[in-house]
Chain A
């Protein structure tokens, strides 16, 4: 007991909430798509931005987004953050990169993790693609996309993604 003379300077006080999540129509469609290696968004009508993931309504106008639209699993990095702070529930080796990726065909950036890219090469406008889980691990879950990885294509000029950064 007293053979550990160092004072206690911090304590771990976890906050934990367990709950049953019901996805609803929009997210259910999106999650079922992921199990088939498809990324499905939704829009209110042709010409309007495709929301990915879909939430059921356009957040700008509150119009229902009933039209399902499949978007590409390739896109453009529009913002990123390098995570260096460890946490027990992070499955990636630190440091790693979180990205907002504007998928081709989507009107809203999508949040995921970037791998297989040195930290000093991450940049706005870089092209990336989804790295899907193996067939036997595909599920109605965001874990169907293991991460995004760089795509060997020229960067998208900043002016074209400015409104999403």
Chain B
């Protein structure tokens, strides 16, 4: 703790609260992450025929167990995005980027990921994106490092 003139006579200091959770994936997300390591994108078909990405174990409407994995992507389309002008230390880039909802080709739902667009003017709703894969997969969502915007035409 530090003496801090800004807080009168009180001590103050940096505190860090951190929980290093290890999360069990279950059979469906295990398949998703294992495929991701092998540079494949996988969804699952729900009871009404829609393809959910990321895949879910149970149908969100009927709760029945889902089994039918479907390959999707690798390209996709930006459904919405938020531009991160001043990234924080734990975010995937130290330069400005977008968090975007991306509907992969063949999917009916959108998934959240980072788009390394360089500058905000290069991304818009409807932009076509493609994955950039991590050079060294580590068994996390960042095995898919990010998406990048495809050049026009």
Query: What count of chain A residues pass the 8 Å CB interface test?
Result: 32
0/1 string, B14-32, CB within 8 A of A gives 1: 1111111111110000110
0/1 string, B39-82, CB within 8 A of A gives 1: 10000000000000000000000000000000000000000000
The CA of A78 and the CA of B10, in the complex, are separated in Å by 31
Chain B contact residues, majority secondary structure: mixed
Q: Which residues of A contact B90 (CB under 8 A)?
A: 16
0/1 string, A21-42, CB within 8 A of B gives 1: 1111101100110000000000
The CA of A60 and the CA of B31, in the complex, are separated in Å by 52
- Residue A13 CB within 8 A of the other chain: yes
The CA of A4 and the CA of B30, in the complex, are separated in Å by 14
- Residue A115 CB within 8 A of the other chain: no
List CB contacts (< 8 Å) of A113-144 with chain B: 139-141
Closest to A18 in B: B16
The answer to whether B12 and A20 touch across the interface, beta carbons within 8 angstroms, is: yes
Closest to B134 in A: A1
The answer to whether A23 and B10 touch across the interface, beta carbons within 8 angstroms, is: yes
The answer to whether B24 and A140 touch across the interface, beta carbons within 8 angstroms, is: no
Interface size class of B (residues with CB under 8 A): 20 to 34
- Residue B96 CB within 8 A of the other chain: no
**Chain B nearest CB: distance from A54 CB in Å?**
13
Partner of A1 from the list B4, B12, B33, B39 (CB cut-off 8 Å) is B39
The answer to whether A13 and B21 touch across the interface, beta carbons within 8 angstroms, is: yes
Known: A20-B14, A23-B12, A25-B10. A9 touches B25 (CB 8 A): yes
B residues lining the A interface (CB < 8 Å): 1, 4, 7, 9-25, 30-31, 33-34, 37-39, 90, 137, 139-141
Across chains A and B, which 3 residue pairs bring their CB atoms closest together, nearest first? A8-B33, A22-B12, A21-B15
Contacts A/B (CB < 8 Å), 17 sampled: A1-B37, A8-B37, A10-B22, A10-B23, A11-B22, A12-B20, A13-B23, A15-B18, A20-B15, A22-B7, A22-B11, A22-B12, A23-B10, A23-B12, A24-B10, A27-B11, A88-B20
